[in-house]
Structure 1
């Protein structure tokens, strides 16, 4: 299995906090963004690549491509896996990429969502998806930065 150091849900995907703080804390040398829309959006890819330190590679794959290639990652690749939504994570999990824990970073508030933490808001679909992931044995921990103690999202939904 690939050397996935951490997996994160963040609706902003790769931004300064992810590109610098998480990468440096983990000593990651590859950020893999798994999201269908972004895998086909060179503008978003370019913007995200700007916040990543030199020497850190980036890949932008669809969920399907992630599932087909993740097992082929070289041992030297130290991966930070980032998804935009819990629904992306569920698709990966149901597709066979079962990780013991996903870090929940940013799930911003929008119409129809309920804020459960300052950076985490959920709607009914998110709650159902998170519950399904939990039932599949996936731990879901809210953490803004690596030094946060973390909080089990299931206690909040």
Structure 2
């Protein structure tokens, strides 16, 4: 199984805070984007690839492809998973991908979501999924940046 250091839910995916703060903090050298829609969108794939530092390997998969890839042999990579939605991370966990920590970052205010903390908006269903993840002995942390105070989903 590949070494997943952190799974982050952030609807901006690979952006400045991730590149400047999270990747160095967790010493990631690979990013796996998990997004069913973008996996089929060549334009978005090109945009995402160009947002990464040159020394960071980037892959983009749908959920099934990501699960297959992440269950492959450990090649020494330190992987940061990025997804725009809670359900994708939950599905990876349900497919036995070894995720030890889920970080909830920027999630915008869209229909069905309420402001939870700063620029983090969650629906009641997303909160329930995160709570169920935490009951599987997987850390669930809500914070934008590595040095921010961690807020519990509970």
| Same fold at TM > 0.5 | yes
Shift of 1:45: 1.6
Q: What runs of 5+ residues in structure 2 fail to find an aligned partner?
A: none
Q: Which runs of 4+ in 1 moved over 3 A?
A: none
What residue number does 2:148 align with? Answer: 148
Measured after TM superposition, the shift of residue 147 of structure 1 is 1.6
Q: What is aligned with 1:54? A: 54
Residues 22-53 of structure 1: per-residue CA shift (max 9 Å, x gap): 11222211100112111111211222222211
The Cα offsets for residues 4-27 of structure 1, whole Å up to 9 and x where unpaired, read as 221111111111111232112222
Aligned residue runs from structure 1 range 68-79, under 5 A: 68-79=68-79
Matches within 5 A, 1:1-157: 1-154=1-154
Q: Does the residue aligned with 2:103 lie in a helix, a strand or coil?
A: strand
User: What is the TM-score of this pair, normalised by structure 1?
Assistant: 0.88
TM-superposed CA distance for 1:119, in Å, is: 1.8
String of CA shifts for 1:104-125, please: whole Å, max 9, x gaps.
Answer: 1111112221101012111132
Give the deviation of 1:135 after TM superposition.
Answer: 2.9
Q: Following the alignment from structure 2 to structure 1, what is the Cα–Cα distance between the partners of residues 147 and 114?
A: 26
Return closer, same or farther for 1:8/1:73 CA change in 2, 3 Å cut-off. Answer: farther
Distance 2:152 2:82 in 1: 19
Structure 1, unpaired ranges of 5+: none
Q: TM-score, normalised by structure 2?
A: 0.90
Partner SS, residue 106 of structure 1: coil
Aligned alpha-carbon RMSD (Å): 1.6
SS in 1 for 2:71: helix
Mapped partners of 1:29, 1:97: distance in 2: 19
